[in-house]
């Protein structure tokens, strides 16, 4: 009987710690693609988008969770994702009208909105779900 209870406790522990801030990584990716697609120099809206991108890189680390990875390695990994997505957004911008139809230019923003809605739902569910008192 003890073995079954240990397996169940281990399963719930794994389920609680599964994937630290994965949903915000999708938001980061699509925001960086949109930044790469829409950047046209040092404009006011590009600066706001860059500031938002920096906040999405750093702030999800401070969301409540059971175990957090090392901040430096976590930040480096998210920075690599952001740089890769910005380059992908620039390539996407260059391919519009040549390889892809011009109407696809709204695709990164559409996917960003969907990923953000899903991330907000997951975060609010994590904040508001009932927890048993210990």
At CA 50, angle to CA 47 and CA 56, rounded to 5? 145
30 vs 112: CA distance, rounded Å: 5
Phi, psi of 96 (to 5 degrees): -65, 130
Residue with tokens 């739902």: 121
Q: Tens of pLDDT along 96-128?
A: 889 989 989 899 999 999 999 999 898 888 778
- The helix/strand/coil state of 62 is helix
Q: How much is the pLDDT for 77?
A: 93
Domain spans of the chain?
A: 36-60+68-127
Q: Tens of pLDDT along 11-58?
A: 444 445 456 778 889 999 999 999 999 988 888 889 999 999 999 999
Q: Tens of pLDDT along 48-72?
A: 999 999 999 999 888 777 788 899 9
Do the Cβ atoms of 33 and 88 come closer than 8 Å?
Answer: yes
Does pTM top 0.95 for this prediction? Answer: no
């Amino acid at each position: 009987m003890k073995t079954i209870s240990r397996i169940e406790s281990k399963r719930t522990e794994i389920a609680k710690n599964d994937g630290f801030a994965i949903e915000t990584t999708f938001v980061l990716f699509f925001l960086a693609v949109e930044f790469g697609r829409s950047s046209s120099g040092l404009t006011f809206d590009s600066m706001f988008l860059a500031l938002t991108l920096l906040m999405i890189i750093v702030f999800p680390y401070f969301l409540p969770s059971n175990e957090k990875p090392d901040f430096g390695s976590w930040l480096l990994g998210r920075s690599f994702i952001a740089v890769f997505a910005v380059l992908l957004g620039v390539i996407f911008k260059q391919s519009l009208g040549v390889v892809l139809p011009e109407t696809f230019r709204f695709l990164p923003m559409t996917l960003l909105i969907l990923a953000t809605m899903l991330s907000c739902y997951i975060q609010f569910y994590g904040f508001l779900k009932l927890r048993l008192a210990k």
